[in-house]
Structure 1
Amino acid sequence: MTVSIERDFALSAEDLALLPTDEEVRQYARSGWYLTRKLFTDDEVDELVAASERFYAGERARTLPVRPPRLAYWTPEHGPVQRHNDYVHYESDDIARILRKPILGAVAARLAQADEIRIFQSTLIYKPPIAGEPSNVVPWHFDRHYWQSCTSEDMLTAFIPFHDCGVAMGTITMVDGSHRWEEIGADDSTTKHFADRDNDDLEKMLERNAAHNGAEVRKVPMVIPKGHMSFHHCRTYHGSGANVSGSPRRAISLHLQPGSNEYRAYQLQSGDVVQYNHDVLVRRTADGRPDYADPQFCPVLWRNA
């Protein structure tokens, strides 16, 4: 079964009023993050909750044809840890229908100053209301580190909670302006996902890079009302703390790529080439590279007509 790729990118007058202003685009360039206006209705957000529960109960429109080597994929036997399920935009049509609302892609295009925005990846997240659960703490990192197979330096992520989301829930937190830092201390280990790295080492890397740039580590928790979302640049340091509220924190992390992004072979010192999960799933380009424009896995969210 294939995913429908027919799209209408037209925006209503109401949608146009939701786009970032010129000053907000400039502020995103300075800070590396942006809080949106209300892009989803309450009914759309409630449907995301309902669709996610059906997903956790086993409902799928389709499943991945092969299992990538580094797939994050919670199943009930994993227990009450923080849940991550990659490729939810591919496996759940009900979730994909809402995520592919044109206004979301249009906002991303304004921030990235791109004529086209495609999905790169999506992860359904459930942070249980267990204050001491170690998996609930996401260490400081930035996404570009493990997207070295990509050519673009302007990729970005939308964090989309399914409810009002604040500090008590362990909301996503940004290190303001860190995407503009000159990086030091990067090596092959930084191409690994944060789940495969030591939390203390990641904390020290943040501190070293801030000191090298003479910068303050200013941590800004994203307090996000229902229907709103945050965006952050692919080089913005971010993380999240424990959920000490009485309710689960439900969200989707939607990673996005400009239309210009392509696969590149990024070689490690060992001679191995960095592998992203897409590389065993997507079709191939004419010259044999993984095609990060494959509409089945990386559909277009927005294109400037």
Structure 2
Amino acid sequence: MSAPADVFTLTAEERALLPTDADVAFYAEHGWYLSKKLFTDEETALLRSASEDFYAGARSRTLPVRPPRLAYWTPDKGDVQRHNDYVHYESDEIASVLRKPLLGAVAARLAQADAIRVFQSTLILKPPSPQEPSNVVPWHFDRDYWATSSSERMLTAFIPFHPCDERMGTITMIDGSHRWQELDRDAVTARHFVELGRDAESVLHRTAEANGAEVRKVPVVIPEGHVSFHHCRTYHGSGPNLSPDPRRAISLHLQDGENAYRAFPLADGSLAAYNHDVLVRRTAEGTPDYADPDFCPVVWEGQPPSPAA
């Protein structure tokens, strides 16, 4: 269920952590933003311990059905990069941190929206194995895989559980790429970015060239408790983890309150699908409800707040 309206309030100290008008303008121009410290050391410690419990099998609940393209690491898959979707649904401990109103308020400021809901969350662990192919995330942007969503304001919060730098394979942005026009959306929408593999670099450079743009790669160095946000059309990826420690993080995909399901036909006549479509409740029209509070809880509601003076 949605939280009561009075839950979506901030202290003066929290308001001081919101993006300024200049930060919002930077996000609009560049397609990404590095926040101030939104999470306490205790909260990031909780994420680390809760994620270890999750990997050991702890669940608050499990998905009622398995969606067709679910990313879900299990121990039998070995020491590859781990991805576990719907962690906000399956772990109440992790969800208690992800649903922090301050995080939603930052997203609301950046997206210029008066409501922010969770769209998806993926728990990620990148092992300290530079030679492991799965450790390299090819260039992609999230909107391609959300073709069934009506909004163009969706965004992602990348939340490491520790300081995260280039050596650890931090997230890397292609600066300003959210303003580019796509070459062939249908071809990419039908494939996951992992399936694109080496083609992703070619797609990136061909798209930049077609837009008369430069490919400017910006590794985002993220102190503990800070969060990297990016627009749903910003190309991004990450390199191998060259450090001695695992890189632990959550990609929290967020939707504005106006986002809703839309039918998106593919070239072969079929319709694009998202994992939610077999999980969420149905609207009165019989379409998947991307406002289902069980899977897409509200994390901010109300007029986007302003930073403290």
Question: Where on the TM-score scale, by shorter chain, does this alignment land: which range?
Answer: over 0.9
Which letter does structure 2 place at the counterpart of 1:6?
A
Following the alignment from structure 2 to structure 1, what is the Cα–Cα distance between the partners of residues 227 and 126? 17
Q: Indicate which of 258, 270, 276 corresponds to 1:272.
A: 270
1:48 aligned residue: 47
Is 1:173 the counterpart of 2:172? The answer is yes
Which letter does structure 2 place at the counterpart of 1:255?
H
Which letter does structure 2 place at the counterpart of 1:146?
Y
Identity %: 68
C-alpha displacement of 1:285: 0.2
Contact in 1 for aligned 2:139/2:235 (Cα 8 Å): yes
Q: What is the CA deviation profile of residues 126-172 of structure 1, one whole-angstrom value per residue up to 9, with x for unaligned ones?
A: 00001111000000000111100000011000000000000000000
Which structure 1 residue ranges, 5 or more long, are not aligned?
none
Contact in 2 for aligned 1:261/1:292 (Cα 8 Å): yes
C-alpha displacement of 1:258: 0.3
Contact in 1 for aligned 2:125/2:246 (Cα 8 Å): yes
1:195 aligned residue: 194
Q: What is the CA deviation profile of residues 196-228 of structure 1, one whole-angstrom value per residue up to 9, with x for unaligned ones?
A: 22x221111110111111111000001000000
Following the alignment from structure 2 to structure 1, what is the Cα–Cα distance between the partners of residues 187 and 213? 25
After TM superposition, the score normalised by the length of structure 2 is: 0.96
Contact in 2 for aligned 1:185/1:205 (Cα 8 Å): no
Which letter does structure 1 place at the counterpart of 2:94?
I
Number of matched residues? 301
Give RMSD over aligned pairs. 1.0
State the SS of the aligned residue for 2:185: coil
1:31 aligned residue: 30
Contact in 2 for aligned 1:148/1:191 (Cα 8 Å): no
C-alpha displacement of 1:5: 4.0
Following the alignment from structure 2 to structure 1, what is the Cα–Cα distance between the partners of residues 237 and 117? 24
Q: What is the CA deviation profile of residues 65-109 of structure 1, one whole-angstrom value per residue up to 9, with x for unaligned ones?
A: 000000000010000000000000000000000010000000000
2:217 aligned residue: 219
Following the alignment from structure 2 to structure 1, what is the Cα–Cα distance between the partners of residues 283 and 41? 40
Following the alignment from structure 2 to structure 1, what is the Cα–Cα distance between the partners of residues 143 and 90? 25
C-alpha displacement of 1:239: 0.2
Following the alignment from structure 1 to structure 2, what is the Cα–Cα distance between the partners of residues 191 and 229? 30
1:67 aligned residue: 66
2:248 aligned residue: 250
Which structure 2 residue ranges, 5 or more long, are not aligned?
304-309
2:228 aligned residue: 230
Q: Indicate which of 189, 196, 203 corresponds to 1:205.
A: 203
Segments of 4+ in structure 1 off by > 6 A?
A: none
State the SS of the aligned residue for 2:105: helix
Following the alignment from structure 2 to structure 1, what is the Cα–Cα distance between the partners of residues 282 and 82? 31
After TM superposition, the score normalised by the length of structure 1 is: 0.97
2:307 aligned residue: none
